[in-house]
Amino acid sequence: MTLTATPDSGARLPFDITRIRRDFPILKREIGGVPLVYLDNAATSQKPVQVIAELTRFYRDHNANIHRGVHTLSVESTDLYEGARARIGAFIGATDPHEVVFTRNTTESINLVAHAWGRKFLQAGDEVVVTEIEHHSNIVPWQMLRDERGIVLKYIPMLPDGTLDLDEARRIIGPKTKLLSITAMSNALGTIVPLEVLIPLAKAHGATVLVDGAQSVPHMAVDVRTLGADFLAFSGHKMLGPTGIGVLWGRMALLDAMDPFMGGGDMILNVNMERSTWADVPAKFEAGTPNIADAIGLGAAVDYLSALGMDEVRRHEIEITDYALRRLADVPGVSIFGPMDAQQRGGVVSFELEGIHPHDVGQVLDTHGVAIRTGHHCAQPVMAALNVPATARASFYLYNTTSEVDALASALEATTKFFGMGG
């Protein structure tokens, strides 16, 4: 059964996990003779046959460059590319699809804002506020801008339970705050950030707000009309789409006021030997031949998610995460980091196994067919706050099951015995 629906069609399909799993060919794989249990979704999600087929169809039937030709293939490619933009915009509640800028990923989207907005509108002494739980991609660009322009970078600290210190946030966000750049959900801990508290704090001081939605947009309903932010960045590969395609949504007034990120073809209005003028948004930020096929593939992924309904996706992940928190807590030697209430976190559970380095845990789990992520998760400040070098991280998505959580728990128990830690 094909899962397709446009975001505004109102069509919904029952959340049937058995049928959903049939759409993901890679889940049929075996690793070392045992069924694959894929629990590394915070790093990248798997792709359904509908997305794979759409990529194949584009290259087989329509492949041509866009915006530059009058022949049939070019017109078809342009229509597919811009159609994907419109559906992705509708998926996040954008009122104007031109506010959707295609990038490579969340990292590029944040860097685009740092370069095209930050360099133009931030001055020495202006304050940019981030948090201690950010991914490196929402720290490093601002550190680079600090070193270049003399802005002041401030961090909202993390509490021991993995949530943010909101009292400190109220102290840090103030009249000098020009930008609040904040994740909606920690990739390292799964902590869901109370944007409904922090965004109004920043707006009360006239600050601009950028939300890193890399972990939130794939897993829960996001509507930029009510979010209150000025920019939203996210990646296609974490939400069933291809790699190499990301999105920056921005308010049109801000995008219009920003300078281009890169210069070249398709982002210009006119070029002569003395000067150039820029195309309208979003073309102003999409220099050169874009990632046409993968933008179209992301459109197919959005159709898939829309057919399921993001509220259903979130409901399923809460159930899986709640089960995982309880199941793993019963495994001897396991310590879980972050909030213990599944309602406060996304489908991410970071943990350590007493006496065993996370890298070794990950390698042994792989022999049991269980794929998790180990390391600092591009969130070294989080690791420093936890006083650990790294964690093991299991992350869930719409196709994961409680039986796969059981497989993870059993593999962890086997890992303890393998290293002779179980007595």
Q: Which residues are catalytic?
A: 378
Q: Tell me the sheet residues that pair with 210.
A: 181, 231
In the block, tokens 């020495």 appear at 124
Q: What are phi and psi of 233, to 5 degrees?
A: -115, 140
d(CA 296, CA 111): 23
Which of 274-288 are b and which e, b meaning 16 or more Cβ less than 10 Å from the residue's Cβ?
A: eeeebbebbbbbbbe
HSE-up of 364 (CA within 13 Å, CB side)?
A: 20
Query: Where in 290-379 does DSSP place strands (E)?
Result: 334-337, 348-353, 370-371, 373-375
Residue 307 · residue 13 · CB < 8 Å: yes
Q: What are phi and psi of 391, to 5 degrees?
A: -135, 165
Strands across the sheet containing 208-212 = 100-103, 246-250, 231-235, 208-212, 177-183, 127-131, 152-156
Residue 298 near residue 322, CB atoms below 8 Å: no
- Which of 245, 300, 249 minimizes the C-alpha distance to 3? 300
Q: Which residues contact 291 (CB under 8 A, 6 or more apart)?
A: 102, 104, 244, 245
Give the separation between CA 394 and CA 89, rounded to whole angstroms: 30
CB 310 within 8 A of CB 380: no
Cα separations in angstroms, 325 against 39, 330, 351, 368, 370: 14, 9, 10, 20, 17
Cα distances from 168 to residues 158, 173, 186, 262, 266, in angstroms, run 10, 9, 18, 37, 45
